[in-house]
């Protein structure tokens, strides 16, 4: 008991007090893996590293976290990860996470789904979840080794990139956001019927009419339908993020507003109430999210499904580039910026990863990584990152194809071959000739080209391989070990 009190006061002085201490204590008492009083004491003093994994939905967050954790526990495929190569990892095991109010990342179910006898992709996640992976590592230096192995807790948080885009709302008024959003809706009205439907409802007359809950809900529903349709068409820059992924807020009043075409709405009007709810959304949803999750992140992984965006065409790729710039702006608010308290100053490494590299033959991987690098570089150049280190790479969290060279019309073509659907049907894919220089496609995209003139990109829906686990090995992957090296190795010295 004496021990526990000592820990409590230590934790309080460190965190400045607050309710965080109590859940942490609860976790320690539940901690069955290393249940001694000493281990309890260490749970507080051992260093933790908070790793955020984000990306728009279907970018590959769930598959990435599941495979990374599995490959950290069974490290047969982690040759490029220094601490493993040096034989210094003594153990890696899951422990209760520190945040009791956040859902646990359902690692076991996801892994079983992805690697079993009837392997399939895990169900999409729609909210925040968290997992703690603890490592016992032999220190590098002989001197440090005298004190025995060290523990490092990796607290991995999975959260929707859609919610990061909401940061942009904080610096906008309702009128500004409405104007920008309506411009986007109009731009998409020739391709999306949902955009036309919404524009039909959101007239000035409606905006100025007396607030009426039924009408407000109808507007919000129509606007949400438009956001979903735009997302399905491949667009990324869509706000409010919770309209697309509401988490547990589905149907709440804070989500019952829409952009409307009026500058200064009349008292009691629909638009005036919408403006009020927009402010409530920022205050009660966006700000707490950033404070609770974002501000604490040490290392950030941003996943991008770049190939799908390329396949979607220049407009979709340009929209992704701008969305990435928006997401990146989150990392470059300095200590004196307007949101410094929300964003924290901790993130010192950011990994950008183009996922699903197994859709491409390895001969194309460096071109693919260059493209991602160029895509985020433009955003990066606009500001410095307070010294945060960044890296861009092409990865596959669960490699689902094999490579093959085939002769087609007298020429050798590097292909990938994978399973499609639930049966054993195989399909070969050549995803397209990647540009030798990224500007060959980024420049026309920025200039507003309607189609690629010299390029064509294709994807398909490869299923994960059946029974992919072997004793001592995690799921097959491409460069997850290099990702771990960048994210973790310097903290395991
Ligand atoms: N071939 C392949 N497909 C992947 C890989 N990672 C993700 N996917 C595909 O992308 C989809 C979305 O992945 P998921 O992790 O659920 O995305 P999330 O919404 O960001 O969590 C999956 O259902 C797979 O179809 C990968 O490494 N290889
Ligand atoms: Mg997910």
State the Cα–Cα distance between residues 348 and 403, nearest whole angstrom.
36
Please report the pLDDT score of residue 45 as a whole number: 56
Q: Are residues 149 and 173 in the same domain?
A: no
Tell me, using a 6 A CB cutoff, whether residue 358 lines ligand 1. Answer: yes
Ligand (nearest to CA of 122): 1
Closest CA to ligand 1's atom 4: 356
- DSSP bridge pairs for 94: 133
State the Cα–Cα distance between residues 474 and 468, nearest whole angstrom.
8
CB neighbour list of residue 372: distance below 8 Å, 6 or more residues apart: 304, 306, 352, 353, 354, 392, 393, 394
State the Cα–Cα distance between residues 129 and 155, nearest whole angstrom.
10
Q: Which domain holds residue 334?
A: 49-163+293-304+320-353+366-397+475-492
Please report the pLDDT score of residue 241 as a whole number: 93
Q: Are residues 372 and 488 in the same domain?
A: yes
Q: Are residues 153 and 61 in the same domain?
A: yes
Q: Kindly state whether residue 263 falls inside one of the protein's structural domains.
A: yes
The total number of structural domains that make up the chain:
3
Q: Are residues 479 and 348 in the same domain?
A: yes
State the Cα–Cα distance between residues 345 and 335, nearest whole angstrom.
7
Tell me, using a 6 A CB cutoff, whether residue 55 lines ligand 1. Answer: yes
Instruction: Name the residue of 52, 55, 56, 60 to mutate for ligand 1: max ligand atoms within 8 A of Cβ.
Output: 60
Q: Which atom of ligand 1 is nearest the CA belonging to 396?
A: 27
State the Cα–Cα distance between residues 94 and 285, nearest whole angstrom.
30
Q: Are residues 194 and 278 in the same domain?
A: yes
Phi, psi of 249 (to 5 degrees): -100, 10
pLDDT one-digit tens code per residue, 172-209? 999 999 999 999 999 999 999 999 999 999 999 898 99
DSSP 407: E
CB 368 within 8 A of CB 447: no
State the Cα–Cα distance between residues 376 and 394, nearest whole angstrom.
13
Q: Kindly state whether residue 426 falls inside one of the protein's structural domains.
A: no
Taken as a whole, the chain contains a residue count of 493
Please report the pLDDT score of residue 16 as a whole number: 32
Q: Kindly state whether residue 229 falls inside one of the protein's structural domains.
A: yes
Q: Are residues 347 and 210 in the same domain?
A: no
Regions in the chain scoring below 50 on pLDDT: 1-36, 40, 42-43, 382-383
Q: Which tokens in the block code for residue 369?
A: 């990584």
CATH of residue 54: 3.40.50
Closest CA to ligand 1's atom 3: 356
Q: Kindly state whether residue 57 falls inside one of the protein's structural domains.
A: yes
Angle (deg, nearest 10), helices 61-73 and 107-115: 90
Q: Are residues 116 and 62 in the same domain?
A: yes
Q: What's the CA-to-centroid distance between 332 and ligand 2, angstroms?
A: 25
Q: Are residues 210 and 271 in the same domain?
A: yes
Tell me, using a 6 A CB cutoff, whether residue 397 lines ligand 1. Answer: yes
Residues within 5 Å of ion ligand 2, judged at the Cβ atom: 61-62, 125
């Amino acid at each position: 008991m004496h021990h526990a009190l000592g820990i409590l006061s230590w934790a309080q002085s460190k965190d400045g007090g607050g309710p965080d201490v109590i859940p942490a204590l609860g976790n320690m008492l539940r901690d069955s893996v290393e249940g001694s009083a000493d281990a309890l004491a260490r749970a507080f003093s051992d260093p933790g590293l908070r790793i955020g994994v984000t990306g728009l939905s279907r970018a590959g967050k769930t598959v990435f976290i599941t495979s990374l954790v599995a490959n950290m526990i069974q490290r047969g495929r982690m040759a490029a990860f220094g601490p493993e190569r040096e034989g210094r990892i003594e153990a890696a095991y899951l422990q209760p996470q520190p945040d009791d109010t956040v859902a646990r990342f359902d690692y076991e179910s996801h892994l079983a789904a992805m690697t079993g006898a009837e392997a399939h992709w895990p169900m999409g996640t729609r909210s925040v979840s968290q997992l703690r992976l603890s490592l016992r590592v032999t220190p590098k230096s002989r001197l440090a080794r005298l004190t025995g192995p060290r523990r490092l807790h990796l607290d991995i948080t999975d959260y929707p990139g859609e919610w990061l885009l909401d940061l942009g709302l904080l610096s906008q008024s309702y009128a500004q956001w409405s104007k920008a959003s309506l411009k986007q809706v109009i731009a998409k009205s020739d391709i999306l019927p949902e955009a036309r439907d919404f524009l039909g409802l959101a007239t000035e007359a409606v905006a100025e009419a007396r607030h009426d809950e039924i009408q407000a809900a109808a507007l919000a529903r129509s606007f949400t339908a438009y956001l979903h349709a735009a997302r399905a068409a491949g667009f990324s820059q869509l706000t409010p993020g919770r309209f697309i992924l509401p988490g547990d807020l589905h149907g709440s009043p804070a989500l019952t507003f829409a952009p409307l075409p009026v500058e200064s709405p009349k008292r009691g009007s629909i638009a005036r109430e919408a403006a009020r709810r927009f402010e409530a959304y920022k205050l009660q949803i966006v700000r707490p999210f950033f404070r609770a999750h974002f501000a604490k992140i040490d290392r950030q992984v941003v996943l991008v499904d770049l190939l799908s965006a390329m396949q979607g065409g220049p407009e979709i790729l340009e929209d992704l580039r701008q969305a990435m710039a928006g997401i990146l702006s989150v990392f470059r608010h300095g200590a004196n910026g307007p949101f410094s308290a929300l964003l924290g100053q901790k993130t010192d490494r950011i990994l950008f990863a183009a996922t699903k590299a197994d859709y491409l033959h390895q001969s194309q991987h460096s071109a693919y990584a260059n493209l991602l690098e160029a895509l985020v570089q433009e955003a990066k150049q606009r500001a410095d990152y307070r010294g945060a280190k960044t890296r861009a790479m092409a990865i596959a969290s669960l490699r689902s194809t094999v490579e093959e060279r085939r002769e087609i019309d007298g020429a050798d073509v590097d292909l990938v071959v994978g399973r499609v659907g639930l049966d054993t049907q195989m399909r070969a894919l050549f995803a397209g000739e990647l540009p030798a220089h990224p500007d060959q496609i980024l420049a026309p995209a920025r200039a507003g080209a309607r189609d690629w003139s010299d390029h064509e990109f294709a994807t398909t829906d490869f299923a994960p391989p059946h029974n992919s686990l072997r004793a001592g090995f995690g799921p097959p992957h491409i460069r997850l070990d290099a990702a771990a090296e960048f994210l973790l190795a310097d903290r395991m010295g």
